[in-house]
A and B are shown apart, each in its own frame.
Chain A
Amino acid sequence: MIGAPIQGRSPARMAWDRIKKDRTAKISAITVAFIFLLALASPIFTWILHTTPDQFHPETLDPSFGTNPVGKLGGISAQHWFGVEPRTGRDVFLRFAYGARTSLSIALSATALATLIGVLVGLVSGFFGKTVDLVLTRTMEIILAFPSILFALAVTPVLENLLESWGVPTGNATRIPVMIVVLSMFGWPYIARIVRGQVISLREKEFVEAARSIGASRTHLVFKEILPNLWAPILVTVALNIPTMITSEAALTFLGAGVIDPTSDWGAMLLASVPFYSVDPMYTFIPGFGLFILVLAFNLLGDSVRDALDPRSSR
């Protein structure tokens, strides 16, 4: 052989090369990374600003009125970059940064759990077919037909009582796990349906037959032959599922079945801002805009990932 040694380019490597050339992917990835950094670095800002997200600052509020922040745009100043919260004077920037932490960790945990359940159920349902498939697809359809937000509101106190009866302390220690379970409970069927469909088309492929003719076990067929061909659809579904989870999490908290004060959360900030939107619109705008940017960036990133993994698809 002449020249450089032969190097194989895996399909994943080719997808990565494509995504590196995509400008939308770059910008949205940077945005997402920036919000992640903000969330991770929030304790550093506590140190810089010499305050905590939970500390009251009554001196920043209008003494004659007692609830509204002093100054323009909700009291934005060098000390309080995003202003202060009406009535309490808590620093909005710190609450925003810590809120990103809560929102992202709940949304990502719920996505991870939903993906795990969805992939396993989809693999089993698609590969084994027959009665197993029938039972599992009916289960998925029933869950998808549920009004998920209403059901989540109803089921949250029930699950909370259950956890508390096991000795878990009340408050966010029970609320956050319950939220993750509830969100993933309604999220997994979307992933399972996509995985199931792919498995059904893949299991009849000749390379699966070839593995069977060598004497491969069912575990080998499912996890070594079929699953590696599913990373692309799984990755795309996950990327597009995260923003849905973020909005659902914010919605749940906004409706009161979510994170409990004083823990900060974007949905909780929106809820808290409602009584003040006419006098302090900035307080509503900041968490709303944060959600908008994060969800948009994740959606665009998900689209780019899909385009990179399946270059033949066109929109």
Chain B
Amino acid sequence: MSQNSKVGNDSGEEIILSVSGLTKHFPGAKTSFFGKHEIVQAVDGVSFDVAAGESLGLVGESGCGKSTTGRLITRLLEPTAGTVVFDGQDISKLNNSELRPIRSDLQMIFQDPYASLNPRHTVGTIVSTPFKINKVVPEGGVKKRVQEILEIVGLNPEHYNRYPHEFSGGQRQRIGIARALALRPKLIVADEPVSALDVSIQAQIINLMKDLQKDFGLTFIFIAHDLAVVRHFAQRVAVMYLGNIVEIADRDTLYSSPKHPYTKALLSAVPEADPDAVGARERIRLTGDVPNPINPPSGCRFRTRCWKAQDICASSAPALLQIGQTQVACHFPE
């Protein structure tokens, strides 16, 4: 992984975000009254690069550490180890006041549109807070700018004085997007932005985000558990399992020829729209549950559920290696 270089991708694009060895351990319950805290290894040595203007999908089951990764990148959490190089600067160890100037370039869209908007603030207040906190006065005043943003995300600018409870889930998520967009960030981390919405609304929000990405040249990290949604939105996809990235590839490469057994299993579980094709495809059923991140399996973390597991999988953890178009962490890739 390129660590401090701004140009490192094989296609020569500018790397806006470079994550390497990112680790977050949370203190869990105490083992006994006088004992130590158990350690929850939520994210354990995650590395990837994101090029400017691209959208990287981050997929995985619940509890695999994808949301934690998102919060580490936006520095809502402090990493236990590893570096996050954003726009040429390592932000992983900055304190709150040092982070402040960077915050406006690095925004987040949250999962729950009902919890992410302060119920006591009007839409106008919510979307203008970024300007006030960063003491930015746009041309024509904050109110005019906020109303422009509301219009961009598909809301009525006259809704400025309304409260969040007067909006539907989809509209609320548009308000959240407007807030993230207010200061024209370079990178937006979208943490399952549509998983709380109706399926019919999901497409609208995804299309809105796609349009915004095109119009403003935004870079997205799109966290989701729905592979179909990621396929629609992301150009590149990283698959996470139990705090590790197991596979990163271009969307088409990943969906057409998955290299990691876990990716293969995930893809086989995506519902097929064409009923004739269902029989043609082999459905891989994983047995057992995701292991406890307090005490993950030795070696490859997926080995306990993998049908290809051998002795080597238990003794050594596979590194993320380039195979063709794909980076994959497996001793026996497809």
Contact = CB atoms under 8 A, between A and B. Distances in A.
Interface of A: 1, 5-11, 205-207, 209-217, 220, 225, 228-229, 231
B110 A11 contact: no
B308 interface: no
Given A1-B156, A215-B104, A216-B133, A206 B116 contact: yes
A214 B104 contact: yes
A210 B120 contact: no
Contacts of A212: 76
A81 to B, nearest CB: 48
Interface in B152-186: 156, 158-159, 161-163, 165-166, 176, 179, 183
A214 B133 contact: yes
Which 10 pairs of residues, A with B, have the shortest CB-CB distance? A215-B103, A228-B120, A206-B116, A8-B162, A215-B100, A206-B115, A207-B118, A206-B110, A8-B161, A214-B130
B133 A209 contact: no
B257 interface: no
Contacts of A215: 99-100, 103-104, 133-134
B70 to A, nearest CB: 10
Interface in B207-223: none
Contacts of A206: 110-112, 115-116
B110 A210 contact: yes
A200 to B, nearest CB: 15
A5 B133 contact: no
Contact of B76 (A8, A9, A207, A213): A213
B119 interface: yes
Nearest to B115: A206
Contacts of A229: 118-120
B120 A8 contact: no
25 contacts: A1-B156, A6-B158, A8-B122, A8-B162, A10-B122, A10-B163, A206-B110, A206-B115, A206-B116, A207-B115, A209-B108, A209-B116, A210-B108, A210-B179, A213-B103, A214-B129, A214-B130, A214-B133, A215-B100, A215-B133, A215-B134, A216-B133, A220-B133, A229-B118, A231-B120
Given A210-B110, A214-B133, 6 more contacts: A7-B161, A205-B115, A205-B116, A210-B176, A214-B103, A214-B104
Given A8-B163, A10-B163, A229-B118, A214 B134 contact: yes
Contacts of B36: none
B121 interface: yes
A232 B159 CA distance: 25
B311 to A, nearest CB: 44
A213 B118 contact: no
B163 A207 contact: no
Nearest to A213: B108
Nearest to B125: A224
A176 to B, nearest CB: 37
